[in-house]
Structure 1
Amino acid sequence: MKAVLPTLLGCLLLAACGGDSSDGAAPSTAAADTRPTPNQPQTPAPPPPEVLTCDRTPPNPLRNAYFGELHLHTVYSLDAVAAQLTPEGAYQFALGQPVAAPPYDAAGNSLIPPYQIDRPLDFAAITDHGEWLGERQLCEDPALDPVAYASPECQTYRQDRELGFLLFGGGWAGFGQLVQFPNLSLEEPLLLTDNEVHRPLFCGVTGEKCRAAARGPWLDIQLQAERFNQPGCFTAFNGYEYTMSPMSDNMHRNVIFVGDEVPEAPVSVYEAPDPSLLWQQLDEACTGDCDYLTIPHNSNLSNGRMFAGPDEDGYDIADKRRAEPLIEIFQVKGDSECVQAENGSPNDPLCDFEKLPATNFFEFFLGVNPIPAAPEHLNYVRHGLKEGLLIEESKGANPFQYGFIASTDSHFGLPGAVDEDNFVGHRDVPPAQGVKDDYFNNPGGLAVVWAEENTRESLFAAMQRKETYGTSGPRMQLRVFGGSTELLPEDLCQRGGRAFVETGYAAGVPMGGELHAGQGTPRFAVWATADTFPRENDRSVSVPLERVQIVKGWIEKDANGQSQAREQVYDIATGNSDWSLDDDTCQVSGDGPRQMCAVWDDPDFQADQSAFYYARVVEAPTCRWLTRQCLNAPADLDCSDPQEEWAACCEIENGNTPTRLQERAWASPIWYKQ
């Protein structure tokens, strides 16, 4: 994408691309004519038998772990340049049905075998961009508005979907406020305003044409959610993505609704150019039984903005705490937990995990960054948690008291496609043979929710109370309880699984909860089980656990009486293992622990220090997706002039990316408050 920068800048200056008024043909890889473009959705067909025949189990008061996806894009997203799956196809995939995945030929036929998830999900949400729903429809379907269809912007989009997305996303809402480019003099910066002047001209004076065209896909998203939502069996949430990127710094949120009462249209960055306005307008539009939460994602691309304080960013802490209980800690565009950097987490080697070589979207898409880069550690969730403690000390409330989830952010419409051994890519058109994505991306993760039953209401309530965790893909189960040394028994692990949970709830709080001064020295009980699904050695071997850790952050006074945020990582459980990995073949041997349990007291506890504690569970090493795919690279691959489809393998040879990884899970923190 670096080569498109000069063209993109020219497009932005002209507010249009495409040259003459003739319509350009789409390249064969895009299969433009086969992409669905419904204006008004038809009455949906009955749900598939896999949903209808599910046996609903009674609610479990001790709660079950439900695995799902809360960040997914289908054909309705403007930047889903290689997608053909609609929300219907995405839900079918989530239920375990095979689908036709990219790449496609000019007739829209998949060039790879039918693609299927290894196990069905328990829940999912389609989160297509609230921005550009109508623009995409008008650019795809000449019957809706011939003038819009023939516009230079739409011609550019059909000729080159990548460039078209950067034109729409870079020139208007997506890259938003005060966008400036190097070596250019713009008398008026590109500003977001309340009269929507930065929608394309074909949208109409007030954007009315694009808003009208967006109704079809927005209604279809809702209809498919209702069609596939089967309480007790599979949960389909209504949702969308709010795509705010001021100065190309990522401030995106996924908006998830509890039920079928949703706003008439998504509140996008066109209407609400900052998160405070988003919450305000959602509150106004979300009436009746409507309730929502917003989930920030990819803080690693926020260039330091995601964890700005209320004085700097202008939000009300109470509004933020109410609307935003969770944050996405991991997805296809990398890990956002922590970074081994000065003022970050220099002593935590496990922070060196799935890192992006970018700090905002300019750098991510174009390889250059005209925006001054913030210190790297400011982009990561662990910094945000520590910053929240400092803000709470001065303001009386913590704006970053987040629980954790993970998801994929797949732009192919493939919810939960997290298999390192069968990764088909996530956004760009992949080759039929060769490496499927940029070397620095990954298959993404899963959101896990502890809830009484698999229903919208139960899962949503669990998300609001933050009894959630994220994994980098595997379906590890993880439970954490916090209490005091006086109430939480030291022998909790020996009491068995049911007694562990019953006592944990009775004598403490689960992940996402709070402990308070006066309750005694904190004690934590962590129980983790490995994913038993066989992933290695041709699907014959499952992967054991390596360790369980507690990550603590706290506030203490320095010699001058100034409050400082600190952190420490404690290994609380390890096991005997003879596990080994052959990086040349990706074959594994040996074994290790299938479950770990530990009860841990904070040896450094100070009653006057506010703190957070979260558990991190780490698997034994396995091969990274790129290493696996490069096993099939040509034996004569010449990295001085590699074939394009195999060029990413040279990043391994050059030492720019690791050959192996350790999959993991992150539990929502428990907070100790003075």
Structure 2
Amino acid sequence: MVFLIGIVLIFTVNTWNEGWFSNPSSPKSKNPDVVLENQTQTQSKQILFGDLHVHTTYSMDAYAISLPMLNGEGAHPPKDACDYARYCSALDFWSINDHAEGLTPKQWQEEKDLIRQCNASAGDPKNPDMVSFLGWEWTQMGTTVESHYGHRNVIFKDTDEDKVPARTVAASGPYTELFSGPPFLMRNILKIVAPGGNRQAYYDFADFVTDRLSYKHCPSGVHVKELPKDCTEWAATPAELFEKLQQWDIPTLVIPHGNTWGFYTPPGITYDKQLKGKDHNEDVQKLVEIYSGHGNSEEYRPWQEVSIDRNGKPVCNEPSLGFEPSCWRAGEIIRARCLKEGDSAKECDEKASIARENHAIAGVSGFNTVPGADLDDWGNSGQCPDCFLPAFNYRPGNSVQYALAITNFDNPHKPRNFRFGFIGSSDSHTARAGNGYKEYWRKGLTEASGPEKPNAFGMMEPAKNRKKPVSKSIPFSPKGLGPFEIMDNERQASFFFTGGLVAVHSKGRDRDSVWDSLNRKEVYATSGDRILLWFDLKNSLGEKSEIVAPMGSEISFSQNPTFKVRAVGAFKQKPGCPDKSVSGIGAERLQRLCKGECYHPSSERKKLLKSKWLESFLKFLRTSPFPN
């Protein structure tokens, strides 16, 4: 058997504890010098915390939620991200990851320059106060399980001009316009109406979008280094993205994220096709983000919202194991309305069946098929009832546990598995990297934004919210609907959280050391607290060295392994900000960025509940590959 020694803490925990589990056994023979080297390396490393998923208002959706019509607080450019990471959340490293679909070549150059400036302010490059990485997000979304691949962050080791791509690579597909901005007519209506006030904000937004749309697409089939610098580059699949990155031939990591997030992920999906052919590249796709401000993507459950029949048509499943599919709830809403109007039970059953079918076919837009339904009508449907802070409209077939368990046998002589290291990050859209250090200010630290008026002059909420409840379902049609109307923004707002973190065991604070740790997968995830964790393969009693290999290692065994696990709770926080933050950028800017509340550790640590983290470890160890 092969064990990947990785681990995740995706819960906010409360002690410190130390323990071992499993029966002692020896791995296959190992060079004593290598064993001693591993032991020395494990003892000499430090744990650093970072965030590898941060958006600024250079992302189109982030710009939209900064506008007055959504009660936004105004723009947060890349400079804010650097200052927040350094002075508010006091991270050791972070990366910028604006949506490539909305980035112009000019903005990409500005981000490269900003990241270099941020690093230049970090002090000695061999021992910086913070390492800033450059990257973007490839934001692919499909309308069906066949066409959907999901979102990936692309991160580069270096920042020198000749060591980073000249252009970002965006994801082409049916939802491309969602991150390219509203059409010309809508932009001008916004300037005229100026919902929420501050007309200048809408003029600036319109100019931002117009500039983005003025760039032509790069020609296809041309090597990336031969393309003009001022065009926008696109890739429809992960395979195309990997090919373009390989042509640049620079150190790169590609990190999938939000896999179970049903806000945009079609129901009934599984991760199997992601393991096929060139749509997975083990050389760069080594890590997966399992927790963010959009929820937990780790846990597998045996239920699904829909099943896919032989003709590829989604069919609504019945409730199971405490889970109620939203398509099923749609039928129950229509049934209740029908009975209230005095129709027969038979007729209402037929209407409920049609409602389930319409919702299942509509996928992520199913909420549009039940006119006038409100949050109370939908209840807890679509949600994982026993998961830790689950992503909205949970898709368990796309979970990390499912991905780890599957095997691809397209080449029977070389079966293929995912061997991910696990990270957490924020997915902040307000330039607030590592925003989970204190639980406060929900509107600023999560994406739970919305219009002050019920429908923002009819432009920001679906027409369903302006229709009266009726006793029959309406088949979904995207005709005439804008991007904000296709997805369930209103209900999603109840399922945003503060972000997670990625922790690395690193030999130093410098860029090379952090990057090497990420590549070794010597990482773990937390849901925001800076928990210290060691999860090592342990040698049997009497051996010269106690530790054989740290987390992230891949070792072959003929017997059950033994692990040594140690965990220490995060520091409890003091109110306010430390003096170095105040002296760094001043109280006024700290108030603007983080409401005067920074990462400000005391000398007292939180307690870990042994049963909680031990249960999580054991659950992870039981996840083993099985044949498809």
Q: Shift in Å at residue 394 of structure 1? A: 4.5
Q: Which amino acid aligns with 1:455?
A: D
C-alpha contact 2:417 2:625 (8 A) present in aligned 1: no
Q: Shift in Å at residue 217 of structure 1? A: 3.8
SS of equivalent residue, structure 1 residue 438: helix
> Quick one: which of 136, 144, 150 aligns to 1:251?
150
> Quick one: which of 607, 611, 617 aligns to 1:544?
607
What residue number does 2:505 align with? 450
Residue by residue over 1:363-421, the C-alpha shift from the partner in whole angstroms, topping out at 9 and shown as x without a partner, is 66884599xx9994312111111114x65995624441100000010101111111323
Q: Which amino acid aligns with 1:508?
A: V
Distance 1:485 1:671 in 2: 26
SS of equivalent residue, structure 1 residue 482: strand
Q: Structure 1 residues 342 and 534 mapped into 2: Cα distance closer, same or farther (>3 Å)?
A: same
Distance 1:365 1:472 in 2: 29
C-alpha contact 2:421 2:523 (8 A) present in aligned 1: yes
Q: Percent identity?
A: 26
> Quick one: which of 36, 41, 45 aligns to 1:63?
45
Q: Which amino acid aligns with 2:93?
A: F
Q: Structure 1 residues 613 and 368 mapped into 2: Cα distance closer, same or farther (>3 Å)?
A: farther
What residue number does 2:402 align with? 383
Distance 1:508 1:471 in 2: 25
SS of equivalent residue, structure 2 residue 566: strand
What residue number does 1:84 align with? 75
What residue number does 1:130 align with? 100
Stretches of structure 2 that go unaligned for 5 or more consecutive residues are: 1-40, 67-73, 173-233, 306-320, 328-358, 371-381, 383-392, 453-489, 576-596
Q: Structure 1 residues 310 and 246 mapped into 2: Cα distance closer, same or farther (>3 Å)?
A: closer
Q: Shift in Å at residue 216 of structure 1? A: 4.4
SS of equivalent residue, structure 1 residue 420: coil
What residue number does 1:515 align with? 555
Q: Shift in Å at residue 430 of structure 1? A: 6.0
Q: Which amino acid aligns with 1:133?
A: L
Q: Shift in Å at residue 253 of structure 1? A: 0.6
Distance 2:618 2:42 in 1: 32
Distance 2:106 2:325 in 1: 35
Residue by residue over 1:442-470, the C-alpha shift from the partner in whole angstroms, topping out at 9 and shown as x without a partner, is 11201111111112211111111100001
Q: Shift in Å at residue 220 of structure 1? A: 3.9
Distance 2:568 2:325 in 1: 29
Matches within 5 A, 1:616-635: none
Larger RCO of the pair (alpha carbons < 8 Å, separation 6+): 2
2:271 matched to 1:332?
no
Q: Shift in Å at residue 85 of structure 1? A: 1.5
Give the aligned CA root-mean-square deviation in angstroms. 4.4
Q: Structure 1 residues 357 and 298 mapped into 2: Cα distance closer, same or farther (>3 Å)?
A: farther
What residue number does 1:296 align with? 256
What residue number does 2:621 align with? 613
The alignment's TM-score, normalised by the length of structure 1, stands at: 0.48
Distance 1:425 1:513 in 2: 35
> Quick one: which of 109, 133, 140 aligns to 1:237?
133
Q: Shift in Å at residue 234 of structure 1? A: 0.9
Q: Shift in Å at residue 441 of structure 1? A: 1.3
SS of equivalent residue, structure 2 residue 493: coil
2:397 matched to 1:415?
no
Matches within 5 A, 1:20-99: 62-80=44-62, 81=64, 82=66, 84-96=75-87
C-alpha contact 1:451 1:459 (8 A) present in aligned 2: yes
Distance 1:259 1:426 in 2: 30
Q: Which amino acid aligns with 2:403?
A: G
Distance 1:569 1:469 in 2: 12
Residue by residue over 1:490-525, the C-alpha shift from the partner in whole angstroms, topping out at 9 and shown as x without a partner, is xxxxxxxxxxxxx55xx311111122134x430011
Q: Shift in Å at residue 316 of structure 1? A: 6.1
Stretches of structure 1 that go unaligned for 5 or more consecutive residues are: 1-58, 97-115, 135-211, 345-351, 490-502, 553-567, 572-611, 615-668
SS of equivalent residue, structure 1 residue 242: strand
Q: Which amino acid aligns with 1:528?
A: A
Q: Give the number of aligned pairs.
A: 371
What residue number does 1:467 align with? 522
What residue number does 1:16 align with? none
SS of equivalent residue, structure 2 residue 610: strand
Residue by residue over 1:79-101, the C-alpha shift from the partner in whole angstroms, topping out at 9 and shown as x without a partner, is 102151211111101111xxxxx
> Quick one: which of 246, 250, 253 aligns to 1:283?
246
Q: Structure 1 residues 298 and 368 mapped into 2: Cα distance closer, same or farther (>3 Å)?
A: farther
What residue number does 2:91 align with? 121
Distance 2:369 2:562 in 1: 45
What residue number does 2:565 align with? 526
Q: Shift in Å at residue 226 of structure 1? A: 4.1
Q: Shift in Å at residue 487 of structure 1? A: 6.7
Q: Structure 1 residues 323 and 364 mapped into 2: Cα distance closer, same or farther (>3 Å)?
A: same
Q: Which amino acid aligns with 1:307?
A: Y
The alignment's TM-score, normalised by the length of structure 2, stands at: 0.51
Distance 1:279 1:386 in 2: 24
What residue number does 1:308 align with? 272
C-alpha contact 1:482 1:515 (8 A) present in aligned 2: no
SS of equivalent residue, structure 1 residue 321: coil
Q: Structure 1 residues 509 and 394 mapped into 2: Cα distance closer, same or farther (>3 Å)?
A: farther
Q: Structure 1 residues 363 and 484 mapped into 2: Cα distance closer, same or farther (>3 Å)?
A: farther
Distance 1:455 1:436 in 2: 42
Q: Shift in Å at residue 222 of structure 1? A: 4.3
Q: Structure 1 residues 222 and 267 mapped into 2: Cα distance closer, same or farther (>3 Å)?
A: farther
